[in-house]
Structure 1
């Protein structure tokens, strides 16, 4: 269900990113005009600790690379909710983070399987 919705959502993608140099599970795509989504950082009890907007850097069926501006430091393993207007809320997990400068982070997220 989630994968079908994501395929529909990403119909506007125009460029596939060359991933032959790494061993990713899914191909990455850039968005024609970029995209913005809302994410909620969750605590261990899955309560929202911070809601913010994220710029989508690239996408795949399995997840996204996001850019955020946050006072809260995201961390690998942290669960998040990602909101897409066409799909609703999808649960994901942060796989990696890169602190770029004050309050600016790049995140790699992976969508979790349907419950």
Structure 2
């Protein structure tokens, strides 16, 4: 899911025609906007759902490792959760619980 400018969750849809040859152009625009938003962070926890080619969060991490290694180094974990069924508060609670258990920076 992605948040729009009003804080509402939206599902990220993987292009049906994607055949594993690089990143879909729409996905690249999306990934670049996320990269810009998280670049100032000292640590990044990536949460997503899915598997294989439909796992957008994993594809995003792979994209960062290839195109933005400075940001990829900030990723502290990838969590696979049923975020489609979770409220924003539940997503935030899971992230806080992870950081409480694995805290690194003292934020």
TM-score, normalised via structure 2 length? 0.29
- Which structure carries more relative contact order (alpha carbon 8 Å, separation 6+)? 2
TM-score, normalised via structure 1 length? 0.28
Q: Which of the pair is proportionally richer in strand?
A: 1
